[in-house]
Copies of this chain bind each other. A is one copy, B any other.
Amino acid sequence: MSGDPYDGSRALVTGGLGFIGSHLSKRLAALGADVTIVDSLIPEYGGNAFNVRELAGRVHVNYSDIRDPWSIRQLVQGQDYIFNLAGQVSHLDSMEDPQTDLDINCTAQLSLLEALRAKNPGAVIVFAASRQQYGRPRFVPVTEDHPLVPIDVNGINLIAGESYHLLYNEVYGIRATSLRLTNTYGPHLLMKHGRQGFIAVFIRLALEGKPIRVFGDGSQLRDFTYVDDAVEAFLSAAAEPETFGQALNVGGIEPVSLLEVATMCQEIAAEGGTVETAPWPPEREKIDIGSIYVDHSRLTALTGWEPTIGLREGLERTMAFYREHGEHYWHDRPAPVRL
């Protein structure tokens, strides 16, 4: 897509030190936008100052929690675009600490929208939602009209967070779009624990030459979006008024089974690790959803967006990144980076 809508614009990226947010911030800066990152660097979440090491001096970094309504009220002012990626994204964490998930994914979202309504109603805002909202799929590929019957607290709260955005579009004319992301992966993905999704676990185990354990028979299908493709989805959606008021799926090129993904990770890493299947642990089986992949044709029809990076190529790039920079991602406390 053309960089024109972003050249000279002002863009706020919540969660901008995180996985997708950091790539998006870098791309926006390259397109000529004046970028402000807001991030709280909660240790167990995906924010990592190393993610924006190349942007020092080129973006504004504002340390703040989106649960703090006063700083958000300041930060939304004067922005043309708000890419709203700050969130609690671990399904397991949402079951163990549901209140924190609610605070971040519901309360903070509503207060951000109230701030926008009061202080900057003309901005465009794109919310990072999730296919977790669909729950166990009744059909695949899952379209946006699939019933929303989530099977964890995170899914319930993301539905509310997304719904506030769409409601504020409908009632107040806030130009809001929600993108329902699937398994996004790539460099900058949180690696210091495995609570935000299996793909990080697979990549790290493969790089360490350890066996990857796949629960069940490994035939469950998933789709995968390489992070650069996800970034383009955000840019495309924000630039196309036809997306406003809609929730749109962001998928991958084709669904792949967990067993295939695990095998591919081991092949690319080539560290001698194996793939094993194992019975479901009870607490995980309860929130498993079988095969799921999404239909993103609606986003394509509206914006022309298509995923372009296949899983093998994406994994190769990702593993190359972690071979070089893994030290900044393996542990809880990465070396401080001056921004």
Q: Mark A270-303, 1 if CB is under 8 A from B, else 0.
A: 0000000000000000110000000000000000
Q: Is the CB of B148 within 8 A of A167?
A: no
A316 at the interface (CB under 8 A from B): no
The residues of B that contact A110 with a CB separation of less than 8 Å are: 98-99, 102, 153
Which of A40-48, A155-163, A187-195 lies at the interface with chain B? A155-163
Complex CA distance for A153 and B164, rounded to whole angstroms: 7
A151 at the interface (CB under 8 A from B): yes
The list of the 6 closest CB pairs from A to B, nearest first, reads A156-B163, A160-B160, A171-B286, A156-B160, A98-B110, A106-B106
**Chain A stretch 161-194: residues in CB contact (< 8 A) with chain B:** 163-164, 167, 170-171
The residues of B that contact A95 with a CB separation of less than 8 Å are: 171
A150 at the interface (CB under 8 A from B): yes
A152 at the interface (CB under 8 A from B): yes
A107 at the interface (CB under 8 A from B): yes
A122 at the interface (CB under 8 A from B): no
Q: Which of B99, B147, B171 is the one whose CB lies under 8 Å from A147? A: B147
Q: Is the CB of B167 within 8 A of A156?
A: yes
A111 at the interface (CB under 8 A from B): yes
A114 at the interface (CB under 8 A from B): yes
Complex CA distance for A152 and B160, rounded to whole angstroms: 11
Complex CA distance for A284 and B164, rounded to whole angstroms: 18
Complex CA distance for A167 and B133, rounded to whole angstroms: 13
Q: Which of B107, B150, B171 is the one whose CB lies under 8 Å from A163? A: B150
The residues of B that contact A114 with a CB separation of less than 8 Å are: 98-99
Other A-B contacts than A98-B114, A98-B164, A106-B106, 14 sampled, CB-CB below 8 A, are: A95-B171, A98-B110, A99-B110, A102-B106, A106-B160, A147-B147, A148-B148, A151-B167, A152-B171, A153-B164, A153-B167, A156-B164, A157-B160, A159-B160
Q: Which of B107, B152, B171, B287 is the one whose CB lies under 8 Å from A151? A: B171
Minimal beta-carbon separation of A97 from chain B (angstroms): 10
Q: Is the CB of A170 within 8 A of B148?
A: no
Complex CA distance for A102 and B156, rounded to whole angstroms: 13
The residues of B that contact A107 with a CB separation of less than 8 Å are: 99, 102, 107
Complex CA distance for A153 and B171, rounded to whole angstroms: 10
**Chain A stretch 106-160: residues in CB contact (< 8 A) with chain B:** 106-107, 110-111, 114, 145, 147-148, 150-153, 156-157, 159-160
Complex CA distance for A159 and B111, rounded to whole angstroms: 19
The residues of B that contact A156 with a CB separation of less than 8 Å are: 160, 163-164, 167
A-B contact pairs, 30 of them (CB 8 A): A95-B171, A98-B110, A98-B114, A98-B164, A99-B107, A99-B110, A99-B111, A102-B106, A102-B107, A102-B110, A106-B106, A106-B160, A110-B153, A145-B147, A147-B147, A148-B148, A151-B167, A151-B171, A152-B167, A152-B171, A153-B164, A153-B167, A156-B163, A157-B160, A159-B159, A159-B163, A160-B160, A170-B286, A171-B286, A171-B287
